Amino acid sequence: VPPIMTEEKHKVLKGNILLLLRETQPDLVVFDMVKMGEVADYVKEQKVPVFGACKWADFAELDRDYGYKLMKSAGIKTPVTYLFNAGERGKAIEMVEKSKKRYVYKPSGNIDCSHTYVSRGVEDMCAMLKVWSSDRCEFELQEYVGGVEVSCEMWWNGQSASMHNWTMEEKHFMNDNVGCAVGCAGDVVSFISSKSKLVKDGIGKMERLLKKTNYRGPIDLNSICTKDGLYGLEFTIRLGYDAVQPLLELYKGSITSLLYTIATGGDKIGSTYAGVAMGVRITIPPYPHTEKEVVSDIPILGTNAENLKHIWWADVKAGEEYYESAGMDGNLGCVTAKGSDVRECRRRV
């Protein structure tokens, strides 16, 4: 959860923001990351439209317990979940050994995504609870629910949802769920009707609560779908990487106009392509081990006017002759393609 700032830091922050707003005179400010809610709310106070952040969004995404309370208040089913304080590892291990059930370990806050763990049984869950004893934050153990994991997202303009989409995400470094967890290695996305059962049983139930917030932007509910129904797991209340890139591959209009329309409460968002889109993350070593030194200035070859339309750069800079790695984290970007089905997307991407 974002820390409480001192009064002196507040004054400096607000002064810097005001200076920047006066210098740039923006029509819109876009936030694409968590923990920026306090800044976003202050920008809104200056009567500048904001897309993608607010203090409420920070709490709803980072504080898992609060997120589950929101789901229950909205009527979204959730798996049985137990919350523990940072110093309650022993208590958690005792519960796992006694219940003999499978659990999923999820730390609160912005902890490294590799620390989320789906156990195979009692022994490995207890072992991993000991391994991550250095996670000085609240954590939860959630009873494992077997099913299909899928996210459903709506783009909220303050009063209604302007569009909906589903996302299926590959969370491991290599194909077929092999390798360490990296948060996202690629996504398949598609727009979906607001009348879909995936919307009505899940994220669509959040509309009543969202009207009480000042949030404008996408809100995603990650869920497990079983034969018994949908179970909510967690919220992403911001642009989701690398899901937004293939989603925008399916959008026909101006991206800046879309963001401005959502931020200012408009509902005329333009048209979209049918079918699905895929995004694949492209990286270089030492990614995903970003605590190691990342090499910069590596040339990126093979780009041209046609394929650049489908490349969304990240850790990249423009060199004299080529695009080059910028040396931040080794995540060069995302390559996207659309098609009538996943096989066609895979071929094109």
Q: How many CB atoms lie within 10 A of CB 38?
A: 19
The predicted-structure confidence for 126-185, as pLDDT tens digits, reads as follows 999 998 887 778 888 999 999 999 999 999 999 999 899 999 999 899 888 888 888 899
Residues 216 and 265: beta-carbon distance below 8 Å: yes
Q: What is the mean pLDDT of residues 47-63?
A: 95
CA–CA separation, 205 vs 189, rounded Å? 21
Q: What's the confidence (pLDDT) of residue 136?
A: 78
Residues 167 and 153: beta-carbon distance below 8 Å: yes
* pTM (2 d.p.): 0.87
Strands 103-107 and 139-143, how do they pair? Answer: antiparallel
Residues 163 and 218: beta-carbon distance below 8 Å: no
CB-based burial, 50-88: b 16+ in 10 Å, e otherwise = bbbbbbbbbbbbbbbeebbebbeebebbbeebbbbeeeb
Q: What's the confidence (pLDDT) of residue 106?
A: 87
Question: Is the pLDDT confidence value at 79 over 80?
Answer: yes
The count of residues in the chain is 349
CA–CA separation, 222 vs 35, rounded Å? 20
Q: What's the confidence (pLDDT) of residue 133?
A: 81
Q: What is the mean pLDDT of residues 28-51?
A: 95
Residues 140 and 186: beta-carbon distance below 8 Å: no
Q: What's the confidence (pLDDT) of residue 1?
A: 42
Question: Is the pLDDT confidence value at 263 over 80?
Answer: yes
**Integer CA distances (angstroms), 292 to 30, 169, 288, 295, 314, in order:** 30, 26, 9, 10, 18
The predicted-structure confidence for 193-251, as pLDDT tens digits, reads as follows 999 999 999 999 999 999 999 999 999 999 999 998 999 999 999 999 999 999 999 99
CA–CA separation, 156 vs 219, rounded Å? 7
